Amino acid sequence: MRNINFGYGISRPRAIDIDNNDLRKSNAIIAEMPELQACIGCGSCTASCTAGNLTEFNFRRLHTAVRRGEYKGAYEDINKCMLCGKCRLVCPRGINTRALIMLIKRKLGDF
Amino acid sequence: MAKRVVIVGGGPAGMQTALELKARGIEPIIVERDVELGGKVRDWHKLFPSFTPASDVLDPIIRGVKSAKIRCFLGQEVRAIAPDGVTLRSEERIHADAVVVATGFTLFDAHRKQEYGYGLYSNVITSVDLERMMNNGRVTLADGSEPRRIAILHCVGSRDEKVCQRHCSKVCCITGVKQAIELKQMFPTADVFNFYMDIRMFGAGYEELYREAQQRYNVHFVRGRISEAAQTINDRIQIKAEDTLTGRPLRMTVDMLVLLVGMNGNRDNESLAASASLNIAPNGFFEPKDSFRGAVCSQREGIFFAGAATAPKSLADTLAEASMTASTVAEYLNHKYNTR
Ligand SMILES: Cc1cc2nc3c(=O)[nH]c(=O)nc-3n(C[C@H](O)[C@H](O)[C@H](O)COP(=O)(O)OP(=O)(O)OC[C@H]3O[C@@H](n4cnc5c(N)ncnc54)[C@H](O)[C@@H]3O)c2cc1C
Ligand code: SF4
Ligand code: SF4
Ligand code: SF4
């Protein structure tokens, strides 16, 4: 049968595919900083973030994505962080967010 | 001779326990630190979820205590407890056959969350201040004018490692929904925004009230915790949060910021517990013997609990538990004195 072009391309599925995502890095990050598991997604870190005010950088979204094994663009994105530490002052779960940034950088850097 | 039970605390829990013990022929004695009976509820205007005036519930209980001629030591603080009585701050001892701890909770001191500016910015108030304003018949901004835009922040002094209060205070979400509706009733053209991390609607009718706030009163719910507040040059308040559901930082200016303060364990829980070898739970409240059949029992025979002394509780839960405490104490006394 002839291939008919309906004008649709195959785009990458938008769903977060936990079955196929490689969770090894994510697990390694959590193993080194188990406190990240306590995040309740309140967004205080993003709200207080200096970098997030000026750029698309969203720290809560980033570390949530990394936990789900969605690493694409994360390393480049995290370089927007200025390591000012404001996020750490507001986290209600007492997560050392600044240390987390360094950890994510280190783990994703050796891709 | 009637058996005697000393009840520490003359809030709703203590009074209801006393009334029900008295009805069983037991002699209750209430010791209350304040000069008046009633506990925190004295300050509440209308109660969730039914908007019943708090005085409609509290006054009949106080009248009941008076007409039953229950002995009350007012303005007296209990310093130590034991199964056979209590010691007051004045060193006077009151002997008893059992003791009920109904010492309730302490409101979180909003000054401790400096980033929200309570005590610094004139239009940052707490949920308790709002109840008092409503009781005084007038809610206004500091300059006497009407607020046009109001933000209500959930979880202030609860679920927060930074102030060492990890637990959820249970009643503030529904209080926030109730107060949002009351504000919209007072100021129908004002915009009200509730900033929350999770909405916890645990009781009968609560979820329905939440929905009513959304649908009928057009209260806006934003999922994100306010990270800081700052006063603008014209006494308004600028707040910052993340609107986590769109994943973008959010800024807005409001006329009034209401902080939903949490319920903490009393500061003297530790010393009271130590005086009788009772346990304090990690959340700072008294730890009951177990969470099911022993929820009103302590680790010590002869010492019992009622109300918010063991955990944040609504008034309805507090009163129901007080009934359970009274019957458990009565059973204990029966058993103790009939089998000897
Ligand atoms: C902002 C807010 C709004 C609320 N609104 C509602 C509502 O609308 N509906 C609802 O169902 N619930 C509401 N609640 C919950 C309600 O206030 C509690 O359920 C209730 O107060 C618990 O009663 P209690 O007797 O256990 O404690 P308390 O009310 O705290 O009373 C304890 C008493 O013990 C006394 N005491 C403490 N230590 C000592 C001591 N060592 N010696 C002598 N006396 C002592 C205290 O002075 C106090 O009078 C609200 C709570 C908050 C924080
Ligand atoms: S340390 Fe980085 S992520 Fe945290 S507030 Fe500063 S810039 Fe934002
Ligand atoms: S402030 Fe803490 S708890 Fe809140 S989203 Fe950021 S890391 Fe998670
Ligand atoms: S009841 Fe709601 S506002 Fe109160 S501590 Fe729990 S989640 Fe926060």
pLDDT at residue B103 in the model: 98
Run of H or E residues at A86:
helix A86-90
* Euclidean distance between CA atoms B129 and B108, whole angstroms: 13
Count CB atoms within 10 A of the CB of residue B119.
11
Q: What is the residue range of B194's domain?
A: 110-262
pLDDT at residue B340 in the model: 54
B186 shares its domain with B114 = yes
CB within 8 Å of chain B, chain A residues 10-39: none
Instruction: Tell me if ipTM is over 0.85.
Output: yes
- Where do runs of H (alpha helix) occur along chain B? 12-23, 54-67, 127-135, 172-186, 206-215, 269-276, 315-338
- Over residues B259-288, the pLDDT tens digits come to 999 999 999 999 999 999 999 999 999 999
Task: Rounding to the nearest 10 degrees, give the CA dihedral for residues B91, B97, B102, B103.
Answer: 10
Q: Is A47 in contact with B249 (Cβ distance < 8 A)?
A: yes
pTM of this prediction?
Answer: 0.95
> For ligand 4, which residues put their CB under 6 angstroms from it?
B 154-155, 158-159, 168-170, 172-173, 198, 200, 260, 262
Q: Is the pLDDT of residue A1 over 60?
A: no
pLDDT at residue B210 in the model: 98
B26 shares its domain with B167 = no
Task: Read off the pLDDT band of A13 (50, 70, 90).
Answer: confident
* Euclidean distance between CA atoms B240 and B249, whole angstroms: 7
Q: What is the residue range of A101's domain?
A: 44-111
Task: State how many domains chain A has.
Answer: 1
Exposed (0-12), middle (13-18) or buried (19+): which is A9, by Cβ within 10 Å?
A: exposed
Residue B90, token pair as written in the block: 């004045």
Domain boundary residue among B246, B262, B278? B262
B169 shares its domain with B184 = yes
B83 shares its domain with B215 = no
Which whole number is the average pLDDT over B181-196?
A: 98
Task: Read off the pLDDT band of B253 (50, 70, 90).
Answer: very high
Q: Is B226 in contact with A53 (Cβ distance < 8 A)?
A: no
A5 within some domain: no
Q: Is B161 in contact with A94 (Cβ distance < 8 A)?
A: yes
CATH number of the domain where residue B34 is located: 3.50.50.60
In chain B, residues with a C-beta closer than 8 Å to the C-beta of A41 are: 197, 244
pLDDT at residue A109 in the model: 85
pLDDT at residue B1 in the model: 77
- Over residues B78-102, the pLDDT tens digits come to 999 999 999 999 999 999 999 999 9
- Over residues A24-83, the pLDDT tens digits come to 999 999 999 999 999 999 999 999 999 998 899 999 999 999 999 999 999 999 999 999
